[in-house]
Amino acid sequence: MEEGIIVNNIRKLRFNQNEMTQQELADLVGVTRQTINAIEAAKYSPSLELAFKIANAFKKPIAEVFKYKIEP
Amino acid sequence: MSKQEILSWTSLATSSSFLFFYILFNFGLPGTVESFSGTFVKTFFNLFWIAVVIEIIVEISEGNKKVQKDERDFIIEAKGMKAGYNILVISIVIALVQIFISNLSLMSNSEFPFSLELSTVFHFLILSLFLASATRRAIMIYQYRKGY
């Protein structure tokens, strides 16, 4: 089975949203700033519920925020 | 550093202090390090109180934050719990086997290999408890440091 990683555009989306800070996004979705940092760095894959909350915070479909990238 | 990570460090410090003082009061220190006994006692005593003070400060300063714990903290806690639980289960099984061997030894009036006194088994279980707690916190700190 091919291994892949979940990549995201959170950093780019934050900056497009009036340079929203990690803490502001964390407060919006109900997690700690450290969790947002870990997600941004692709060190932690969020639950489906949290992924939807983050996408909703940016008013974007989930596929525009998170992508599953298969390593060649 | 998040509140949960700081609390993991302080809990590791308090668990280590308890482990040290339990060993000191029940068995004493081995001859080779006995001359440093005073230094060890002072270090662990200070470590314990510093950890308690840090916990109080963190509780006061971070207590009003909206999110205290989230899904990542719960996953990291579960990983730590799993390691601690495994150590505890293995210790309990060893203790039960020891009690069984001791009973057999008593019933047959002969000395069995690896048979221990009940007080030793009790000390072993208490030490395992502290060790499991320290391991749980150490695994949690490792996961936090790794950035999981």
| B72 has a chain A CB within 8 A of its CB | yes
Query: Does the distance separating the beta carbons of A30 and B66 come in below 8 Å?
Result: yes
| B100 has a chain A CB within 8 A of its CB | no
Task: Share the mean pLDDT of chain A.
Answer: 89
Number of cross-chain residue pairs from A and B with Cβ atoms under 8 Å apart: 39
Closest Cα in chain B, distance from residue A23 (Å): 11
Distances in Å between the alpha carbon of B4 and those of A35, A64, B10, B14, B67?
Answer: 12, 31, 10, 15, 11
- Of A8-17, B53-62, B67-76, B111-120, minimum mean pLDDT range: B111-120
> Cα–Cα distance between A26 and B66 in angstroms, integer?
10
CB burial of residue B4 (10 Å; 0-12, 13-18, 19+): buried
Closest Cα in chain B, distance from residue A19 (Å): 21
| B147 has a chain A CB within 8 A of its CB | yes
Distances in Å between the alpha carbon of B23 and those of B15, B17, B29, B131?
Answer: 12, 10, 8, 12
> What's the complex ipTM?
0.82
How many C-beta atoms surround the C-beta of residue A49 within 10 A? 10
Write the pLDDT tens digit of every residue in B124-144.
Answer: 899 999 999 999 999 999 998
User: Amino acid identity of A15?
Assistant: F
Which of chain A's residues have a Cβ under 8 Å away from the Cβ of B73? 32, 35
At residue B112 the predicted structure's pLDDT band, cuts being 50, 70 and 90, is low
Who contacts B100 (Cβ-Cβ below 8 Å, separation ≥6)? Answer: none
Query: Does the distance separating the beta carbons of B72 and A30 come in below 8 Å?
Result: no
At residue B119 the predicted structure's pLDDT band, cuts being 50, 70 and 90, is confident
Nearest to A35 among B66, B72, B146 (CB): B72
Q: What is the mean pLDDT of residues A51-69?
A: 92
pLDDT of residue B29 exceeding 80, the answer is: no
pLDDT of residue B147: 75
Distances in Å between the alpha carbon of B68 and those of A32, A62, B2, B50, B76?
Answer: 7, 26, 9, 22, 14
Distances in Å between the alpha carbon of B22 and those of A23, B17, B42, B124, B137?
Answer: 42, 8, 15, 11, 19
Write the pLDDT tens digit of every residue in B40-98.
Answer: 788 888 888 898 898 888 888 877 777 778 899 999 999 999 999 999 999 999 999 88
pLDDT of residue B117 exceeding 80, the answer is: no
Rounded to two decimals, the pTM is: 0.80
Question: CA angle at residue B63 from B60 to B69, to 5 degrees?
Answer: 140
> Cα–Cα distance between B126 and B128 in angstroms, integer?
5
At residue A50 the predicted structure's pLDDT band, cuts being 50, 70 and 90, is very high
